[in-house]
Amino acid sequence: MESSLFKSDRDGFRLSLKEALFIGFCAVFAVLVRVAFRVKLHISGHSMLPTVFFLMLARGSVRFRFAAIFAGLLAGSAALFMGFAKAGPMVLVQYLAVAVVVDGLAWLLPGQFRHVAWSSLTGALAGASKFFTAYAVGYLAGMDPAVNLQRSLFEGAGAVLFGLLAGALLPVVLRRLRAYGVIV
């Protein structure tokens, strides 16, 4: 007879149709909100708010282990085909970097999205991934390393703040979705 530990491990890799549709919903909305609010706010990192929020929503509402990575891959591919950003194919890497941080922390700290503090920390760390992608884009463009570091730190700091805000919003939304029976 199998122990419950092994049974739950297998269930982490199963994906029902409802869960797959919800992951797709989160990916589409991560891109659509970015399109709808394509307003230049002149605040560095403001596009990280919907990205982090919807990727964390995908991971927090579905028991599938790689939900954020799957949603990030879908959203990044859609953004790439829609011609987002000046980074070209790096936009896919930007979505995947955020998704890997979200899934990695969800694996290390299960049940973290119920608490505002842990969820905010996850959002801030996911926003911090913007530093690495911004630095990589500057490096590939041949930017001076000192200027590239300063620019990447500035963009990363703004992304951390908006990621923190997205993480703080998530537990409230997840509680409402559970209360209305949308997610289990």
- Domains of the chain plus CATH, in order, are 15-179 (1.10.1760.20)
Cα–Cα distance for residue pair 75/95, rounded to 1 Å: 7
Residue 85, pLDDT score: 64
Low-confidence ranges of the chain (pLDDT < 50): 1-7, 9
Residue 14, pLDDT score: 78
C-alpha distances in angstroms, 162 versus 127, 153, 165, 166? Answer: 7, 14, 5, 6
Residue 1, pLDDT score: 42
Query: Residue type at 41?
Result: L
What's the CA angle centered on 130, arms 150 and 89, to 5 degrees? 110
Q: Does the model's pTM come out above 0.75?
A: yes
Q: Which pair of structure tokens corresponds to residue 169? A: 């919003």
Residue 87, pLDDT score: 65
Residue 2, pLDDT score: 44
Residue 183, pLDDT score: 82
Residue 146 near residue 140 (C-beta atoms within 8 A): no
